[in-house]
Structure 1
């Protein structure tokens, strides 16, 4: 029988997959919504903030903790960090297209194409990350505070 500690550790890969699923759900809702410029800007900012917080938590916390335990994961983690950079570029374009005010909002079709591209790269990235890190997560990773931004997404506003 597994101890409570090992149950918690084993659950880390599941918790990461659940956080990714929540981000997928939020992006799907954003893509499906027929939002006016104000709603689009608000929803885009909330989603972009949640995804950026999640990735920063991985880059500065989870990945550093994993590398201390499993230095052999360095090439995988480098790939994941590179993906985060690509995703950040898309998020920046989406935020710019959503505009600081309704008069500056971009064409909805252009925003939709960016959201479609984001969906594709996020799906590939999340699947790769979940596959590549599951064993290491389930073996145990010291939580140096990384779990809050990575696993506990704030509810959308």
Structure 2
């Protein structure tokens, strides 16, 4: 296990907390989908906001967290590449959801796409948490923030 730098932020725990926030929001979104018979403006807004949060999270990981981890822990490169491939798959699903939200009233398709997103995200989050939490805690790069690493404010 890597040595933990002298700082207050436990980046690994913050990653888990970010994932937990996204999981909670996804659960609320799925509940909302269960309780409706139409893609209402509020439901569309909720979907767009959630999808945006996932996109920001993955963009931050790809642009900051993964390069920082690769620089300090080159042995993680294959894992980081796999996680980035997952991000690409998720981005495609997010685009599909956006197309449904902006181009149709097909609640069943929106639900199907969001169910698919939920399954992939949970698998991805678990893999990511198993694979990089300890390394994140050992990151020594100065100037890192939760916003830069994970697309969220603490």
TM-score over 0.5 (shorter chain): yes
- SS of 2:20's equivalent in the other structure is helix
The reply to whether residue 76 of structure 1 matches residue 68 of structure 2 is no
Paired with 1:95 and 1:119, the residues of 2 have a C-alpha distance of 15
Where do 1:1-157 residues align within 5 Å? Answer: 6=6, 8-9=8-9, 11-33=10-32, 34=35, 36-99=39-102, 104-145=103-144, 147-151=146-150, 153=152
CA contact (8 A) 2:61 2:150 kept: no
Paired with 1:136 and 1:113, the residues of 2 have a C-alpha distance of 35
**CA deviation after TM superposition for structure 1 residue 98, in Å:** 1.0
In the comparison of the two structures, how many residue pairs are matched?
146
**Runs of at least 5 residues in structure 1 that lack an aligned partner in the other structure:** none
Residues 102-143 of structure 1: per-residue CA shift (max 9 Å, x gap): xx4331111111111100000000000011002211222425
CA contact (8 A) 2:22 2:54 kept: yes
TM-score by structure 2 length? 0.85
Paired with 2:47 and 2:136, the residues of 1 have a C-alpha distance of 30
**CA deviation after TM superposition for structure 1 residue 19, in Å:** 0.2
Residues 75-108 of structure 1: per-residue CA shift (max 9 Å, x gap): 0000000000000011111111111xxxx43311
TM-score by structure 1 length? 0.84
**CA deviation after TM superposition for structure 1 residue 49, in Å:** 1.0
CA contact (8 A) 1:16 1:151 kept: yes
Of the structure 1 ranges 27-36 and 40-49, higher mean CA displacement relative to structure 2 is found in 27-36
Provide the aligned C-alpha RMSD in A.
2.1
Paired with 1:149 and 1:20, the residues of 2 have a C-alpha distance of 15
Paired with 1:106 and 1:124, the residues of 2 have a C-alpha distance of 29
**Runs of at least 5 residues in structure 2 that lack an aligned partner in the other structure:** none
**CA deviation after TM superposition for structure 1 residue 40, in Å:** 2.0
